[in-house]
Amino acid sequence: MFLRAIGRPLLAKVKQTTGIVGLDVVPNAREVLIGLYSKTLKEIQAVPEDEGYRKAVESFTRHRLKVCQEEEDWENIEKRLGCGQLFSLIEKWDPWGVPDDYECEVIENDAPVPKHIPLHRPGPLPEEFYKTLEAISGDSTKKVETPEKASQVTE
């Protein structure tokens, strides 16, 4: 028993190279991933619970964290995750994709949009959307107006 506890980490397979130019082997990749996934789960708490984005991030992050906690061998983790090498997962880890020094320009609703920012005006939604919205709202006495009908009334 004592030899298994001490000898197991010593006998663990160590990867010598990733085979990818510029991507070094991380000797403690499992522990690094556990830390990154734990950090992600902590930070995603800032997003409202009912948001689809939060649910998706929590789902795949919990799965990956569980695999890393259950397996000790990097080959088994890579097989179960099916996302390539652990080292590339560490290298690519950037869940929010925004640099720490990024400054966001806040545009108030009534402020003019700066010329360097493209205006995105989505087209009208199909009429079926409004019919479905009316049906699920449960209030059949209140009619939901489509943007076309609303603009005709205000003109």
User: Which residue shows structure tokens 């992050």?
Assistant: 61
**Which residues form the domain of 31?**
7-92
83 phi, psi to nearest 5 deg:
-120, 20
Band of pLDDT at residue 35, cut at 50, 70 and 90: very high
Q: Is residue 114, in this structure, part of any structural domain at all?
A: no
| Number of structural domains in the chain | 1
| 30, 12 Cβ separation under 8 angstroms | no
CA distance 81 to 133: 39
Q: Is residue 98, in this structure, part of any structural domain at all?
A: no
| 101, 45 Cβ separation under 8 angstroms | no
* Stretch 139-151: mean pLDDT: 54
* Stretch 88-100: mean pLDDT: 77
Query: Identity (one letter) of the amino acid at 150?
Result: A
pTM of the predicted model, to two decimals? 0.54
* Stretch 136-151: mean pLDDT: 58
User: Which residue shows structure tokens 């689809």?
Assistant: 52
> Which tens digits make up the pLDDT trace of 50-60?
888 888 889 98
> Which tens digits make up the pLDDT trace of 76-88?
999 999 888 888 8
Q: Is residue 101, in this structure, part of any structural domain at all?
A: no
Q: Is residue 75, in this structure, part of any structural domain at all?
A: yes
pLDDT at 139: 59
Q: Is residue 108, in this structure, part of any structural domain at all?
A: no
Q: Is residue 33, in this structure, part of any structural domain at all?
A: yes
pLDDT at 69: 96
* Coil/strand/helix, residue 86: helix
Band of pLDDT at residue 1, cut at 50, 70 and 90: very low
